[in-house]
Amino acid sequence: MLKKKSIIILSSALVLVMLFAGCQSAAQPMAAADNTNTAEPTAKAETAGQIEDGIRVIEIAKGFSESSISVNRGEELSIIYTGETAGVSLSVPGYEAENTSDSNTVALYVKAKVEGEFEVSATDGGATETGLLVVKPYENQAVFRSVGPSDFEAAMTGDYFLLDVRTQEEYDEVHIDGATLISVYDLENRISEIAQYKNTPVLVYCHSGNRSIVASQILVENGFMNVTNLDGGITAWVAYQAQKSN
């Protein structure tokens, strides 16, 4: 009788173990599915190309549509496309920019004035592919900010260095008193002339606030620790001063 009772207890225990294992097995796929649905934050796209003499040079080739081209607002772009056959073309319709070449390489100039996403289209040997040009605001919160005329004027206190990155002709027509002129196109090659201001607040402006964004990037990349851009450029500055005097 005892033996029979022991067998019944063992059988019951075995059934419980099998049921428990079955529940675990059934639950496992659901857990795996939950892990699969957990998305990691999307990495921020890195800025394409390199700034050379104040212009961001971006080289692309066949198959570029697999990834977007990320740039900063205000930059002047030279997008160079290399195809596989002679007779290629490249265009950014949103900026009304287009160029063709009889060779397998074509260069297109674009000034990225407006933020947003713009189609890039390349034709190579009769085949066309499209990619994406992403124009975003330049951000580097640790060392860079972009402000309007009133805040820019408020920053002109104590020790600071005022930098005008336009052309000589523009500077001669109108400039902010005390500004040093170094064109954005020469800034990389003349950066050593202002190296003593790396730890001094540097205030940068151009005509409308586009070239000065590029200049700010050059300064930051060369170790300048406090850069302020005049949003709207000297155009906004002149309007602000006129409003103050009325």
Enumerate the active-site residues.
206
Q: Look at residues 42, 77, 81 and name the one whose alpha carbon lies nearest to residue 65.
A: 81
Tokens coding 153: 């004027």
Q: Look at residues 153, 152, 184, 157 and name the one whose alpha carbon lies nearest to residue 168.
A: 184
CA atoms within 13 A on the CB side of 64: 27
- Whole-angstrom Cα distance, residue 215 to residue 195? 14
Dihedral of CA 4/9/13/19: which sign? positive
Give the residue carrying structure tokens 């790396």.
Answer: 198
Tokens coding 114: 């407006």
Dihedral of CA 237/238/243/244: which sign? positive
Give the residue carrying structure tokens 């602000």.
Answer: 240
